[in-house]
Structure 1
Amino acid sequence: MFLNLLTLGVLSLLEGRFPARRDPGQRPLNMAIWLVNFASASAAPLVMGAVVAFSRRTGLPAFPVDAWPPVLAAAAYIVAMDLGECLFHRAQHAIPVLWRMHSLHHSDPCMNASTTVRHFWGDVLIKALTIWPVAAIAFRPTPSTLAVYVLISLYHYFSHANLAVNYGRWSWVLNSPAYHRIHHSREPQHYGVNFAGLFPIFDVILGSYQVPDVTPQTGLDETPRGLFQALAWPARSTPGRSAAQGVGAALKAPS
């Protein structure tokens, strides 16, 4: 928690001084959502741990990571987790019920570092029952590997930051604020691209890579007006423009 807050604080200062855009965001709401979601986020490792323990008792197959060098084993787990996150992210834009939840994340009028924690509370629990156990079962990460992954995950705050940071011709190597802003763009030509969390090479392979050559406005036509609306976000009567950006967008070939 301390590292998360420290990272958010530093990036918020940088965003105030060097913003990519000066559009109004919803930082207080994002932080309120994060605090409410803390309970489900805390429960997720317990659920995932129970699933992994059960799989080991039943002898489900796994990669022989015990015989691998620790660095290689950790790298394999991190890459597997990022691939799982990328595939799940695509599913969130292609499956209506998942998009109704995920669109809360996209509804921030100005993508910034605090947007990283703006998620519907059910998203974490679904991941804890799907992609996270699969990666843990297959690669059986050690506590040190998990600690490294948690530290690396802090990078997501940077990739969401409202900063004009672009890796140019190397944008396919590592996610950046410019790269991820294209994914959050309001512009129809940007729908269905740049899903990767850490490694855009997955977008290259899956045909959803787009060069970050502009700094578009982000957000949806609708956004929650308070914490209660955010917590009940999927139950809203109409998804509005979000349907255009979400359902089916993951299958859109980049122009």
Structure 2
Amino acid sequence: MIGWLQDSWDGANGWIFETLVQPALYALGLMAWAEDAFEWIDFVLFGLVQVLVVYAICRPLEAWKPVEPRSDQRSIRTDILYTCLSRLGLLPLLAFVAFAALGSRLSGWVAGSGWVPPTLETLFPLLREWPILALAVYVAVLDLGEYWRHRFQHRFSWWWSLHAIHHAQRQMTFWTDDRNHILDDLIGAAWFGAIALLIGVPPGQFPVVVVILRVAEAMSHANVRLSFGHVGERLLVSPRFHRLHHGPLGSGRDGKNYGVLLPVWDWVFGTADFRHDVFTETGDARLPEAMATGSWGQQQAEGFRRMGRALAKGFRKRAARRRRTA
């Protein structure tokens, strides 16, 4: 199954390059960029697949049983812009530029040293014989990593200054999933990629893992009155479960319901709230209005300003402690 998906993906990628991109590069005299362009297609095509899958699943759910009417179309359009930039444009471009050279150097260093990094499959050979089980393990480990990244976003004041953009949205929909500061997104991409590299997620399974977590995260933000019940809420994160996180329970260091796909991490680490029938209002009224209803640029600028103030405050506190102990 994985092999068939990989072959289909490679075929679509090759067709787009040969039919659309390569002739354009030739006409513009830019064939020196052909290899980079071929790899770039992967980013755009994969982002497009994610957006289409999420829309096909989540939009009918929101139309079926919304928690609240869509009254703030302007803010929703801003969230759609976030998704387009994150999945189809700005973030993939920055990730490509930032990590392509680093990945090449790292691979060269590992190959030259003769050291073979341990992976889950080398530690547990059974996973090589059961690819579906291996996929499930990879998803669970990466989901645990995302849980702790989310906890840290709330724990450190400079990081919360960026993540607050996500919590400022009062009209939450499945598009809100991508409503993040660009620096926060880059940190998240590096975090996720590092864990995937560390546990040895195979290239053929990595896109599947990403889509699973992406769909789960988008659905958890959907404007749909949906709970999975007493048992289901403990197996998968539902829109109700995560909506509580975007209400009064989600601000500051002592928030609840951080999970992306599996609520088990919230249960294990004491941050779960399993109330079934509560669908709270969303948004943090303490945040600046620019973060809630401003344009994409205004929200990004406000995030940088707040992060700068948080870092400066932290430096002052540390300097004061050093003076007291000197």
Q: State the TM-score, normalizing by the size of structure 1.
A: 0.81
Q: Distance in 1 between matches of 2:297 and 2:77?
A: 13
Query: Whose helix fraction is larger, Structure 1's or Structure 2's?
Result: 2
Q: Distance in 2 between matches of 1:142 and 1:188?
A: 34
1:47 to 99, 103, 112: 99
For 2:54, give the aligned amino acid.
Answer: T
Query: 1:31/1:176 Cα in 2 relative to 1: closer, same or farther (>3 Å)?
Result: same
Q: Distance in 1 between matches of 2:135 and 2:284?
A: 37
1:35 equivalenced with 2:84 (yes/no):
yes
Counterpart in 1 of 2:193? 132
1:149 equivalenced with 2:204 (yes/no):
no
1:96 equivalenced with 2:157 (yes/no):
yes
Q: Distance in 1 between matches of 2:81 and 2:153?
A: 23
Unaligned runs of 5+ in 1: 240-255
Q: Secondary structure at the match of 2:161?
A: helix
* Counterparts of residues 186-205 of structure 1 (less than 5 Å): 186=248, 192-205=255-268
Aligned length: 238
Q: Does structure 2 conserve the Cα–Cα contact (< 8 Å) formed by 1:187 and 1:216? A: no
Alignment root-mean-square deviation, CA: 2.8
1:133 is displaced (CA, Å) by: 0.9
Same amino acid, percent of matched pairs: 25
Counterpart in 2 of 1:217? 281
Q: Deviations over 1:231-251 (max 9, x none)?
A: 213134699xxxxxxxxxxxx
For 2:255, give the aligned amino acid.
Answer: G
1:227 equivalenced with 2:296 (yes/no):
yes
1:55 is displaced (CA, Å) by: 7.1
Q: Deviations over 1:193-251 (max 9, x none)?
A: 00000000000011001013311000122314212212213134699xxxxxxxxxxxx
Query: 1:60/1:229 Cα in 2 relative to 1: closer, same or farther (>3 Å)?
Result: farther
For 1:230, give the aligned amino acid.
Answer: Q
1:62 is displaced (CA, Å) by: 1.8
Q: Does structure 2 conserve the Cα–Cα contact (< 8 Å) formed by 1:41 and 1:124? A: no
Query: 1:218/1:7 Cα in 2 relative to 1: closer, same or farther (>3 Å)?
Result: same
1:31 is displaced (CA, Å) by: 1.3
Counterpart in 2 of 1:251? none
For 2:103, give the aligned amino acid.
Answer: A
Counterpart in 2 of 1:244? none
For 1:179, give the aligned amino acid.
Answer: F
Larger RCO of the pair (alpha carbons < 8 Å, separation 6+): 1
Q: Does structure 1 conserve the Cα–Cα contact (< 8 Å) formed by 2:76 and 2:171? A: no
1:15 is displaced (CA, Å) by: 1.7
Q: Does structure 2 conserve the Cα–Cα contact (< 8 Å) formed by 1:182 and 1:212? A: no
Q: Does structure 2 conserve the Cα–Cα contact (< 8 Å) formed by 1:120 and 1:233? A: no
Q: Does structure 1 conserve the Cα–Cα contact (< 8 Å) formed by 2:251 and 2:284? A: no
1:24 is displaced (CA, Å) by: 3.4
Q: Deviations over 1:29-72 (max 9, x none)?
A: 00122333332234436728718636743536323515323223
Q: Distance in 1 between matches of 2:297 and 2:251?
A: 32
1:179 equivalenced with 2:241 (yes/no):
yes
1:15 to 52, 62, 68: 62
Counterpart in 1 of 2:136? 75
1:185 is displaced (CA, Å) by: 0.6
Q: Distance in 2 between matches of 1:205 and 1:182?
A: 18
Q: Secondary structure at the match of 2:205?
A: helix
Q: State the TM-score, normalizing by the size of structure 2.
A: 0.65
Query: 1:24/1:228 Cα in 2 relative to 1: closer, same or farther (>3 Å)?
Result: same
